[in-house]
Amino acid sequence: MRLNLRFIIGIIVAAVSLFSYYFHTSKNEVTGETQHVNMSADQEIALGLQAAPEMAAQYGGESPDARGTAIVQQVGQRIIASTKAGQTPYKFQFHLLADDQTINAFALPGGQVFITQGLLKNLTTEAQLAGVLAHEIGHVVGRHSAAQVAKSNLTQGLAGAATIASYDPNSPGSSVAKAAVAAAIAKVIGLRFGRNDELEADRLAVDFTPQAGYDPRAMIQVMQMLEQQGGRSSTPEFLSTHPNPGNRIGELEKEIAAEFPQGVPAGLKK
């Protein structure tokens, strides 16, 4: 009887998790995709603002480099003003972080965008900076964090349901094994979606950069620099936090060729 009750409870938990995931959908006005998200734009903004100070502290806080900060903010706001990103409800703010040893850039949900001094000093043109920032803006408008949270809630709910339904008091180790398998599956799913997110952020950056007056091919130069840095020493943190979906340079070249079949227009900042 207890086994049946546990099984029924597990089924209920799984059903609630699935219902919550599949019946909370929203059409993304920038990408046109229908996404499974359970957060509003206001909630994303609030979450990003709450997390921003802690994330900045991990990289030494805001940089004292006033000139570098001004350039980052100027380029970031130029992209926002020139693209669909500026038509979203997100409140974009651009931050230069003091860490000059770590090569990284990232975005929090709602529009908080960060780049480290370590990455900025390795960029040689304004267009390269625009490519990095446009990629991070792509993560924000693509609602990748919100989608990941929804996916994580689903997998955690299903893992919990499986643990409840399969728990055997005579063999307590069985639930541990099943939970470990569920966690591994969740990790694989998260990695796959992370790679898809990177490809979409790249596609959006290829779209955004020329609209703001920058040559999208500068993004390829950034990837080449990151690969060179990885060959010289440890892998740049940017490549750890932004999974490489196969040949990323090749994918960028395909996207640029598709966007500009007659060639990239002259006059864009390189």
Q: What per-residue string of b and e applies to 40-63 under the rule 16 or more CB within 10 Å gives b?
A: ebeebbebbbeebeeebeebbeeb
**pLDDT tens across the length of the chain (270 residues):** 444 655 454 455 445 444 454 556 678 777 778 766 777 888 888 888 888 898 899 999 999 999 999 999 999 999 999 999 999 999 999 999 999 999 999 998 899 999 999 999 999 999 999 999 999 999 999 988 777 776 665 445 434 434 434 444 444 444 444 454 444 334 333 334 377 888 899 999 999 999 999 999 999 999 999 988 876 656 688 877 776 755 889 999 999 999 999 999 999 998
Helical ranges in 114-217 per DSSP H: 117-120, 126-141, 144-166, 173-211
Residue ranges of domains in the chain: 2-259
Catalytic residue positions, numbered: 136, 202
pTM: 0.77
CA distance 118 to 59: 10
pLDDT value at residue 233: 59
